[in-house]
């Protein structure tokens, strides 16, 4: 049997990745290897109808091979045909002779989160949590992520979406004691409209160690960083001019993490935690009774990963430009939780953990489930100001699209960036206006948005 899984860059993957075709893969058919490569190529080009037809053909050729069925389930998932996908993965999960039972269970859990059928997910969460200590190290990371996400989705459905935090009354807790040994890394490009507000906000809640990588901005970003550093001499602000415009965010974060940790030792600062914050994200607490929860999580020696979840924020009407000298919470007062929940992580320094692309999880994790602390449960959120104005969104679409197009090795990643950039090239400014207007309407109407 050919134990082959066709990996899609932004989809589910086996722990350890796809086996090389030359490494012990039993090929049924002379055309099998070509078919694998063809599926990969078609997926990278978003030609989903052709992928589905190719998979159906292979299922007919190899009806006993569960891996092609798994790929069909993944294809339905990509096409948002979640019920069809779930039907396939439930059968594969219950097939005791199938080596991919665990992967199928994780996919079932993910689909149930998408469908918001949280009670159906409870038995799967319990089963996976029970099995977790006995899993191989390479299996623990995907399980930990899936279980954390499913639990968060259930909590989100019962609390945050019913009573979203009031942006006008958010508190900025004093966390100086905890954040004194925390570092913050920000990668930024042409976001001068919010960068200064980001830095000032996180300074006010207690951060004092900042590493800011400026990816060849041309909008006055450097001046904002220098101004912030001059106005706050008690903060250690490292400014790095990043000349590599290709999207290597994960690699860069790992490099900057190690550099910042070692550099701060020269100032007698021993970092305990590293936060990875985007320029358009503000960390805040929605309940005064919960502001100590983050400090407690950071001080708990067993904590290795702290997970925050997005609440996206929008203006009441589409804006041409971002207003200056006004709090983002005032400019963008309409809040909505992202469903399925999108997470960002902070990691304990010295654990060897590194964030994935987008900082949504870690590259590998085989520690205890108890080492993962979810701050959603304590009303700490990352407020995400992702679509602020016509001018900002136009820069974002152009910069994001070009970054991924210029990146080797990530051809199957960042498809939404490539799609948006392609639509902009075809539709011009009208497309950007449509994106901004649609975003404002969806958040105002409480439409469930995907990250």
Closest CA to 238 of 269, 255, 259: 259
| Structure tokens that stand for 78 in this block | 């990509």
Do residue 201 and residue 322 come from a single domain?
yes
Same domain? 271 vs 415: no
Same-domain check for residues 307 and 247? yes
Q: Which residues contact 329 (CB under 8 A, 6 or more apart)?
A: 167, 168, 170, 282, 313, 383
The residue among 347, 364, 384 that closes a domain is 384
pLDDT single digits (tens) 92-122: 999 888 888 999 999 999 999 999 899 999 9
Q: Which of 221-225, 244-248, 348-352 has the lowest mean pLDDT?
A: 244-248
- On whether residue 142 sits in a domain, the answer given is yes
- Give domain status of residue 112, yes or no: yes
Are 322 and 197 in contact by the 8 Å Cβ rule? The answer is no
Q: At what angle do helices 118-131 and 101-115 cross, to 10 degrees?
A: 150
CA distance 70 to 344: 29
What is the three-class DSSP state of 14?
coil
- Residue 200 pLDDT level (bands cut at 50, 70, 90): very high
Residue 377 CB neighbours (<10 A): 15
431 found inside a domain: yes
Q: Read out DSSP for 177-228?
A: HHHTTEEEEEEESS-HHHHHHHHHHHHHTT--EEEEEE-S--SSHHHHHHHH
Whether 80 and 193 map to the same domain: the answer is no
Domain end marker among 160, 179, 208: 160
Please tell me whether residues 96 and 202 are part of one structural domain: no
Asked which of 345, 368, 384 is the last residue of a domain, the reply is 384
CA angle 232, 311, 104 (to 5 degrees): 125
Same domain, 218 and 239: yes
- Of 40-44, 219-223, 410-414, the one with minimum mean pLDDT is 410-414
Residues 6 or more apart whose CB falls under 8 angstroms from that of 167 comprise 313, 329, 330, 332, 333, 335, 383
Residues 368 and 424 in one domain: no
Q: Is 135 contained in some domain?
A: yes
Task: List the CATH number of the domain containing 64.
Answer: 1.25.40.10
Quote the domain boundaries for residue 414.
Answer: 390-444
What's residue 112's pLDDT?
Answer: 94
Of 252, 213, 209, 250, nearest to 232 by C-alpha is 209
CA 45 to CA 28: how far, in whole Å? 26
Cβ contact 52:39 at 8 Å: no
Instruction: For residue 286, give the nearest of 172, 205, 170, 383 by alpha carbon.
Output: 170
Q: What is the model's pLDDT at position 23?
A: 35
With a CB cutoff of 8 Å and minimum separation 6, the contacts of 3 are: 19, 25, 26, 67, 99
- Asked, for residue 105, whether it belongs to a domain, the answer is yes
Do residue 85 and residue 193 come from a single domain?
no
Q: How far apart are CA 72 and CA 88, in angstroms?
A: 8
Distance CA(315)–CA(303), nearest Å, equals 36
pLDDT at residue 300, rounded to an integer: 95
Residue 159: band (very low, low, confident or very high) from pLDDT cuts 50, 70, 90: low
Range among 24-38, 173-187, 265-279, 435-449 rated most confident:
265-279
Least confidently predicted of 30-34, 36-40, 106-110, 303-307: 30-34
pLDDT for the residue numbered 409: 57
Q: What is the average per-residue pLDDT within 250-267?
A: 92
Q: Tell me the helices (H) and strands (E) count for the chain, helix number first.
A: 16, 10
- The reply to whether 52 and 121 lie within a common domain is yes
Exposure of 357 in the CB half-sphere (CA atoms within 13 A): 12
Sequence-distant (6+) residues with CB within 8 A of 38 are 54
Counting Cβ atoms within 10 Å, is residue 132 exposed (0-12), middle (13-18) or buried (19+)?
middle
Query: Cβ distance 404 to 183 under 8 Å?
Result: no
Identify whether residues 150 and 200 lie together within a single domain.
no
What is the Cα–Cα distance from 211 to 228, expressed in whole angstroms?
Answer: 12
What is the pTM (predicted TM-score) of this model? 0.82
Provide the number of structural domains found in the chain.
3
* DSSP three-state, residue 294: helix
- Asked if residues 368 and 292 have their Cβ atoms less than 8 Å apart, the reply is no
Range in 89-93, 276-280, 396-400, 414-418 the model is least confident about: 414-418
Q: Is residue 2 in some structural domain?
A: no
Residue 437 domain flag:
yes
Distance CA 280, CA 153 (A): 23
Q: Are residues 309 and 177 in the same domain?
A: yes
In-domain check, residue 286: yes
| 199 and 312 share one domain | yes
Range in 42-46, 50-54, 60-64, 177-181 with the lowest mean pLDDT: 42-46
């Amino acid at each position: 049997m050919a134990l082959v899984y066709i990996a899609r860059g932004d989809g589910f993957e086996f722990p350890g990745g796809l086996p090389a075709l030359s490494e012990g893969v039993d090929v049924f058919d002379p055309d099998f290897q070509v078919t694998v490569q063809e599926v990969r190529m078609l997926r990278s080009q978003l030609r989903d109808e052709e992928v589905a037809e190719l998979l159906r053909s292979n299922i007919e050729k190899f009806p006993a091979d569960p891996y092609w069925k798994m790929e069909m389930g993944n294809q339905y998932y990509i096409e948002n045909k979640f019920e069809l996908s779930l039907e396939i993965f439930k059968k594969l999960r219950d097939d005791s002779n199938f080596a991919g039972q665990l992967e199928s269970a994780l996919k079932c859990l993910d689909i149930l989160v998408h469908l918001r059928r949280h009670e159906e997910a409870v038995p799967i969460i319990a089963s996976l949590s029970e099995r977790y200590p006995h899993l191989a190290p390479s299996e623990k990371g995907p399980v930990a992520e899936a279980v954390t996400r499913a639990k968060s989705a259930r909590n989100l459905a019962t609390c945050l979406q019913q009573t979203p935090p009031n942006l006008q009354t958010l508190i900025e807790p004093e966390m100086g004691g905890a954040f004194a040994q925390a570092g913050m890394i920000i990668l930024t490009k042409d976001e001068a409209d919010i960068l200064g507000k980001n830095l000032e906000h996180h300074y006010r809640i207690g951060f004092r160690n900042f590493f800011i990588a400026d990816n060849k901005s041309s909008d006055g970003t450097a001046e904002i960083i220098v101004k912030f550093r001059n106005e706050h001499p008690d903060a250690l602000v490292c400014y790095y001019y990043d000349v590599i415009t290709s999207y290597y965010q994960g690699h860069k974060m790992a490099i900057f993490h190690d550099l910042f940790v070692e550099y701060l030792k020269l100032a007698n600062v021993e970092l305990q935690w590293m936060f990875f914050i985007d320029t358009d994200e503000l960390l805040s607490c929605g309940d005064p009774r919960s502001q100590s929860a983050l400090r407690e999580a950071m001080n708990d020696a067993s904590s290795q990963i702290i997970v925050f979840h997005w609440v996206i924020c929008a203006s009441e009407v589409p804006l041409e430009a971002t207003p200056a000298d006004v709090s983002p919470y005032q400019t963008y007062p309409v809040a909505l939780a992202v469903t399925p929940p999108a997470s960002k992580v902070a990691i304990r320094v010295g654990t060897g953990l590194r964030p994935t692309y987008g900082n949504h999880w870690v590259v590998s994790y085989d520690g205890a489930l108890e080492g993962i602390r979810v701050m959603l449960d304590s009303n700490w959120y990352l407020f995400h100001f992702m679509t602020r104005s016509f001018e900002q969104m136009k820069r974002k679409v152009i910069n994001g699209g070009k970054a991924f197009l210029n990146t080797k090795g990530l051809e199957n990643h960042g498809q939404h960036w490539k799609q948006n950039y392609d639509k902009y090239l075809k539709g011009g400014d009208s497309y950007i206006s449509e994106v901004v207007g649609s975003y404002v309407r969806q958040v105002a109407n409480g439409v469930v948005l995907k990250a």
